[in-house]
Amino acid sequence: MTDIPPTTDAPEANGEAGGPPGIRIVRQFIRDVSFENPKAPESLVGDAPAIEMGVELNARGRDDGLFDVELKLTASAKRNGETAFHVEVVNAGLFQVNAPPELMEPMLLIECPRFLFPYSRRLISDLVTEGGFPPLHLDPIDFSAVYAARQQQMAQQGQVGQA
């Protein structure tokens, strides 16, 4: 769930400082990481497994005016209906965002994940390689499209709830 209203009345925290919208990364960190290779060493031989990817985004305002943004990436590889590996990385960051209220959500759910993605991508590649598989090089993610799809899904759920 996304909870991103401005958390302070300070002008610089909610985009009223008069300057252009901007983002400052205060801290970046790994919140959770997991790699499972349940069928090793048998899963390490054979044809390349089919890989399914998942992306989740979350942003929360904090009492100190900063925002906690999470990027969760998952990859599951299956071969012949059995799991070859499953990897999950939750990379997060504390951000200071200077934006007017109407731009706050897109800044948090599009721009902040763009900063986090390269680190998540490298970590997944390293974990998969250390697990005995060829490196998994993730293609860049269009966070604008992810955000638009999420907005569309929320709008449809709102329409369904009203019908």
Distance from chain centroid for Cα 105: 14
Q: Which band of pLDDT confidence, cut at 50, 70 and 90, is reported for residue 122?
A: very high
Distances (CA, A) of 110 to 68, 69, 117, 131: 14, 10, 11, 31
Q: What is the pLDDT of residues 76-97, one digit of tens each?
A: 999 888 899 999 999 999 999 9
Q: Which band of pLDDT confidence, cut at 50, 70 and 90, is reported for residue 43?
A: confident
Question: Hey, what CATH topology would domain 11-162 get?
Answer: Bacterial Protein-export protein SecB (3.10.420)
What does the alpha-carbon distance between residue 151 and residue 146 come to, in Å, rounded to a whole number? 9
Q: What is the pLDDT of residues 6-17, one digit of tens each?
A: 444 444 444 444
Q: Which band of pLDDT confidence, cut at 50, 70 and 90, is reported for residue 19?
A: low
Report the pLDDT value the prediction gives residue 18, as an integer from 0 to 100.
55
